[in-house]
A and B are shown apart, each in its own frame.
Chain A
Amino acid sequence: MSQPLVELRHVDRSFKQGRVMIPVLQDINLTVAPNEILCLVGESGCGKTTTGKIIVGLLSQSAGDVLYQGRPVGEFRGKERSAYRRALQIVHQDPFASLNSAHTIGQILSYPLKRHKMVHSRAELRRRIWELLTLVDLTPPGDVVNKFPHQLSGGQRQRVSIARALTVEPKLIVADEAVSMVDVSIRVSLLKMMHRLRDQLNLAIVFITHDLALAKYFAWEGRIGVMYLGRMVELGPTPDVIVNPAHPYTRALISAIPEADPELTRRKERMILRSEDIPSLTEIPAGCAFHPRCPFFVPGLCDSRVPPLADAEGFRHQVACLPLTQGDALREYGDAFREEQS
């Protein structure tokens, strides 16, 4: 395998709230390869956005290592640091808030180009802006370049956001809920464009979403990571995770999602959780954080040790669930689990 672009090793992150520290991320291990698509999914508060921000270097980790092309990011100085910062870009969720409403689209795109000396003359600047707008299908560019953000639709604004991220020729883009504020009818065209940009510009994309169906569509050729209360609970190739989910939490999510098919969605079997409430981050349950809600909870095991993300028998991807990963002693249990699943 080629060297990963970004690697997180045992990354923790906590935020201080008053006098208490809130552990938002715990022991995240993750690699993003060049040109890869990785989706992070999970419910609000699970740490997916924080992970995204740590990947691009907008937040620092509280513990653990973040490596860029094999080197700890703290090492970079001067030109190297600037190249590292340029290589990783983020597209935010809300295209109404992330573009300065007082500046035209042309201005918005020109600042990073000038700041990072990506262009050397006015003619080149103009040519590059034209090129970027064409790249994100805002054509003809002449119609858009002098407009202000409020004159564009949500979808068009999100395209501008993506074009802005592309100004500095990044190697990786983190798209944080980048299409969740865009209408259903237009979403697909944005996702397709991101696929095309990935191929054309050799980008890696980390796509953060709470919508599993969307993640499935976008990352079918990539990987999905499922997060719960600050930990990665399942990570693997998208088709495996969606079709053959291992972790009870992932299975609960998949069984809970309504489908746009009336007969299917009414027939679908639902997994009943032991509790409906998500524990607060200040009181994360001991052991597996999901154990108070998990219908497959094994007393004495799940509530005593934190399950590491590991290979599980019968699955081609990694899962953080002790009964599934611990083999012999619990094989019987695991078999019953899988039987029930199929």
Chain B
Amino acid sequence: MSENKVVLSVRDLSVHYLTQRGALKAVSHASFDLHKGETLALMGESGCGKSTLNLALMRLLPGNARVPNGAIVYTRRDGSTIDVLKMNQDRLRRFRWSECAMVFQAALNSLNPVLRVRDMFYDTARAHGETNHHKVRRRALELFRKVRLDPERVFNAYPHELSGGMRQRVLIALGLLLDPQIVILDEPTTAVDILTQRTIIDVLLSIKDELNFSIIFISHDLSVAAEMADTVGTMYAGEIVELGPVNDMFYRPRHAYTLGLLEAIPRLSAGAEELTSIPGSPPDLVEPPSGCKFHIRCPFATDICAKETPPMEVVGDGHSAACWHADQVYARALQFTGAES
């Protein structure tokens, strides 16, 4: 499914917000590659920087944000590369939506309540140079069929006539209108009901197979990541602390925080189970802790964790983690997943 072609390569990206107390380091030194057709899930607690990272990829950051270092290299379909951070306004405008689209959470707020769905499609197309309504309509109806919506009805509807799940699917279709290579989804299934969530997951999986775009999605729901992602990244306090293939991340995690998350979520199929939560709360990102930022809450922490920042080390095929005690975490993870089956 995923070829080896990299469409987006993020290197050493940091994002700081200027606040009265100083620079808030929302994202620090994030690096990852997104391949063609790959689904990458970023998971972590609220405030871990996952939304900021995604906004940075689209250069949609608010005015008080600064990007002190890093590169976001995008590969076009023709193979040429360009750094998103160095694009001028005109290029950037074309990059957004036609190369890289974003589907936001809370579908009610992302659709204009006084416009019919069709007008939003026409507007979007016109803004990117497509003025032929017939063409746009054909494309939209085709997309609606793919996301399992009744094409004619939805195309002419106002947002309030649609249910939450339908609106979310309209947004997905709208995001795909200009055939982007990358779609960024921000909490695509949060605040929707279980059966609606199932529809959205199924729709995304099938339409992705068909159109072969890449997905980056943020979710705090680990189970959605488990089902949809090829690659999973765990973020903590602005850093990607572990990144790897979905099975490795869920069955053989090497970072204490990933393991902590896995041990904290109830599983429907598991019967009576013992869960443990991660003590404490996420650190202050204006004055982050020394060494490994997780050490204060980490059950594995030793002296070195407080003193030195662990480097991101390769621990397996396409799997890397930044943890001084990766081996111990791994041993306990095997125990944990073994005890389950």
Say which residue of B163, B198, B221, B275 sits within 8 Å of A270 (CB atoms): B198
**A260 with B222: in contact, given A43-B193, A183-B45 (CB under 8 Å)?**
yes
| B268 on the A face (CB < 8 A) | yes
Counting CB contacts under 8 A, is B92 at the interface?
no
Which segment, of B6-14, B25-33, B71-79, B259-267, faces chain A? B259-267
Does B247 lie within 8 Å of A256, measured CB to CB?
Answer: no
User: B221 to chain A: closest CB distance in Å?
Assistant: 8
Among A185, A210, A239, A243, the residue within 8 A (CB) of B193 is A210
Q: For the complex, is B281 an interface residue (Cβ under 8 Å from A)?
A: yes
Q: A43-B194, A213-B265, A254-B268 are in contact. Are A263 and B247 (CB under 8 A)?
A: yes
Binds B, one of A70-78, A82-90, A273-281: A273-281
Q: Which residues of A contact B247 (CB under 8 A)?
A: 262-263
Q: Does A187 contact B (CB under 8 A)?
A: yes
CB distance B265 to A184 under 8 Å? yes
A262 touches B277 (CB 8 A): no
Of the candidate stretches B97-105, B120-128, B223-231, the one touching chain A is: B223-231
Is the CB of B309 closer than 8 A to any CB of chain A? no
Q: Is there contact, CB below 8 Å, between A214 and B220?
A: no
A93-142 CB contacts (< 8 Å) to partner B: none
Give the docked Cα–Cα distance between A153 and B46 (Å).
Answer: 11
Contact A260 B226 (CB under 8 A): yes
Complex contact A43–B195 (CB within 8 A): yes
B96 within 8 A of A: no
Q: How many residues does chain B have at the interface if contact means C-beta atoms less than 8 Å apart?
A: 43
Closest chain A residue to B236 by CB distance? A185
Q: State which of B193, B197, B275 has its C-beta within 8 Å of the C-beta of A188.
A: B275
Is B276 an interface residue, CB under 8 A from the partner?
A: yes
Chain A residue with Cβ nearest B43: A184
- Verify B45–A185 contact, CB threshold 8 A: yes
B268 & A276 in contact (Cβ 8 Å cutoff): no
A265 to chain B, nearest CB (A): 4
Chain A residues with CB below 8 A from B90, complex form: none
> What is the size category of the interface that chain A forms with chain B?
35 or more
Is A301 an interface residue when CB atoms closer than 8 A count as contact? no
- Using known A-B contacts A186-B277, A258-B223, A260-B265, determine if residue A273 contacts B195 with beta carbons closer than 8 Å: yes
Q: Could you say which residues of chain A place their CB within 8 Å of the CB of B202?
A: 270
Question: Quick check: is B216 within 8 A (CB to CB) of the other chain?
Answer: no
- Decide if B273 is an interface residue (CB 8 Å cutoff): yes
Identify the interface centre among A189, A239, A273: most chain B CB within 10 Å of its CB. Answer: A189
* Residues in B whose Cβ lies below 8 Å from that of A189: 277, 279
Q: How far is the CB of B148 from chain A (nearest CB, A)?
A: 7
Q: Is the CB of A185 within 8 A of B261?
A: yes
Q: A183-B220, A266-B227 are in contact. Are A276 and B199 (CB under 8 A)?
A: yes
Q: Which residues of A lie under 8 Å from residue B226 when comparing CB positions?
A: 258-262, 265
Is residue B278 within 8 Å, beta carbon to beta carbon, of the partner chain? yes
Q: Are A256 and B198 in contact (CB under 8 A)?
A: yes
**B268/A257 in contact, CB under 8 A:** yes
* Least Cβ–Cβ distance between B47 and chain A, in angstroms: 9
Q: Residue-by-residue, is A247-258 near B (CB-CB < 8 Å gives 1, otherwise 0)?
A: 000001110111
Complex Cα distance, B266 from A242, in Å, reads: 13
B269 CB–A CB distance under 8 Å: yes
Complex contact A256–B194 (CB within 8 A): yes
Contact residues in A for B266 (Cβ distance below 8 Å): 188, 213-214, 216-217
Contact of B201 among A153, A212, A258, A261 (CB under 8 A): A258
Give bound CA distance, A266 to B195, whole Å. Answer: 16
Q: Give chain B residues whose Cβ lies under 8 Å from the Cβ of A216.
A: 266, 268
Residue A220 lies at the interface, judged by CB distance under 8 Å to chain B: yes
B143 located at the interface, meaning its Cβ lies under 8 Å from any Cβ of chain A in the complex = no
Q: Is A264 an interface residue (CB 8 A)?
A: yes
Most chain B Cβ neighbours within 10 Å, of A212, A259, A262, A263: A262
- With A183-B46, A187-B264 already in contact, the answer to whether A239 and B250 are too (CB < 8 A) is no
- Chain B residue nearest to A182 in the complex (CB): B46
With the chains together, A29 CA to B197 CA distance in Å? Answer: 30
Question: In the bound complex, do residue B278 and residue A260 qualify as a contact, i.e. CB atoms below 8 Å apart?
Answer: no
Contacts A262-B246, A273-B195 given; does A188 touch B264 at CB 8 Å: yes
Q: Residue-by-residue, is B19-47 near A (CB-CB < 8 Å gives 1, otherwise 0)?
A: 00000000000000000000000000110
Asked if A44 is at the interface (CB within 8 A of a chain B CB), the reply is yes
Q: Are B148 and A44 neighbours in the complex by a CB distance under 8 Å?
A: no
B137 to chain A, nearest CB (A): 24
CB–CB A260/B195 < 8 A: no
B272 within 8 A of A: yes
Chain B residue nearest in CB terms to A252: B195
A216 to B251, CA, bound (A): 22
A263 to B267 alpha-carbon distance, docked (Å): 14
B residues 159-191 in Cβ contact with A at 8 Å: 163, 165
Would A253 and B194 count as touching, CB distance under 8 A? yes
Given contacts A185-B278, A258-B227, A262-B246, contact A210 B194 (CB under 8 A): yes
List 16 A–B pairs whose Cβ atoms lie within 8 Å, in order of A's numbering.
A43-B195, A183-B46, A183-B220, A185-B278, A212-B268, A213-B268, A217-B273, A217-B275, A256-B195, A258-B198, A258-B226, A262-B247, A264-B269, A265-B223, A270-B198, A276-B148
Contact surface of A with B, Cβ cutoff 8 Å: 43-44, 153, 155, 183-189, 192, 210, 212-214, 216-217, 220, 239, 242-243, 252-254, 256-266, 270, 273, 276-278
A-binding residues in B (CB < 8 A): 45-46, 148, 163, 165, 193-199, 201-202, 220-224, 226-227, 246-247, 250-251, 260-262, 264-269, 271-273, 275-279, 281
Give the top 9 A-B pairs by smallest Cβ distance, nearest first. A217-B266, A256-B198, A188-B277, A43-B193, A189-B277, A185-B278, A258-B223, A258-B227, A260-B223
Known pairs A183-B45, A184-B45, A253-B194; list 18 more (Cβ under 8 Å).
A185-B45, A187-B264, A213-B267, A216-B268, A220-B272, A239-B272, A256-B195, A256-B197, A257-B194, A260-B250, A260-B265, A261-B250, A261-B267, A262-B226, A265-B223, A265-B226, A276-B148, A276-B196
